[in-house]
Amino acid sequence: MTLAKICGLTDTPGLDAALQGGADMIGLNFFPPSPRYLSPEAAAALSAHMPAQEDGAPLRVGLFVDATDDAIAAVLAAVDLDMLQLHGEETPERTAALRTRFSLPVMKVLGIATPADLDALETYAPVADAFLLDAKAPPGAPLPGGNATTFDWSLLSGRPIPRPWLLAGGLTPDNVAEAVRATGAPGVDVSSGVERARGVKDSARIAAFLRAARGT
């Protein structure tokens, strides 16, 4: 079954929809300029609504963009995370250092627009536990991710991906099944496509996305 991650949750109705729909991972956004940003305290309060890990809770993935060690440590002092999502320009060396420093698996995000962007898969494979293949942010976009932009999925064809991975970028309840069929993605990630306004999750769209992803 296709794994599904709901990214950028900010409130309990959205979290409940993700839990009820059987999300495998939830994303908590710790990039301050984002409309989906959570302070460490807000993330801890939201996380308190989750069931225990042994009761099948989804993995809690913390999204960071070129964050300092201190910023990540401050988050981890407030809320338990199961994985770090690195959505910035973190080098392979920085990725390895964070993985070691915080003893957490790391999902490195690669922005994809051209075939050459996929060459980074080999560079990061020794230091990343998983990849998230997202659309490269359009020129002038205010954020490096969460832009509701798809990339040309055919770029992935015939390209082995050396770690578990999620497909992201402009996915919606309406296109996720086709995205999985076209790419063979073992998992999918969504933010904008399950919102009713920028940064505001919509429970019905979360449920519809998870149904559509599950059906694949």
Q: Is 187 in the site for ligand LARABZUK (CB under 6 A)?
A: no
Interface segment toward ligand LARABZUK; rule CB under 6 A; list 13-21, 93-101, 116-124, 165-173: 165-173
Q: Is 95 in the site for ligand LARABZUK (CB under 6 A)?
A: no
Looking at the Cβ atoms of 100 and 180, the one nearer to ligand LARABZUK is 180
Q: Which of 59, 148, 155, 177 binds ligand LARABZUK (CB under 6 A)?
A: 148
The number of residues that bind ligand LARABZUK (CB under 6 A) is: 27
List, as one string, the DSSP characters of 43-82. HHHHHTTSPPGGGTPPEEEEEESS--HHHHHHHHHHS--S
Q: Least Å distance between CB 110 and ligand LARABZUK?
A: 11
Tokens read off for 29 = 């956004």
Residue pair 209/4 in contact (Cβ under 8 Å)? The answer is yes
Query: Residue length, the chain?
Result: 216
Q: Least Å distance between CB 199 and ligand LARABZUK?
A: 7
Q: Measured between alpha carbons, how far is residue 39 from residues 4, 12, 13, 27, 60 in Å?
A: 24, 15, 18, 13, 15
Give the residue carrying structure tokens 């073992």. Answer: 186
Give the residue carrying structure tokens 């099948």. Answer: 56
Q: Is 147 in the site for ligand LARABZUK (CB under 6 A)?
A: yes
Tokens read off for 177 = 């099944």
Q: Least Å distance between CB 192 and ligand LARABZUK?
A: 3
Interface segment toward ligand LARABZUK; rule CB under 6 A; list 12-20, 95-103, 152-160, 167-175: 167-175
List, as one string, the DSSP characters of 142-155. SSSS-S-----GGG
Of 69, 119, 134, 202, the catalytic one is 134
- Is 134 one of the annotated active-site residues of the chain? yes
- Is 80 one of the annotated active-site residues of the chain? no
Q: Least Å distance between CB 164 and ligand LARABZUK?
A: 15
Question: Among residues 93, 42, 94, 32, which one has the least CA distance to residue 63?
Answer: 32
Give the active site residues. 7, 134
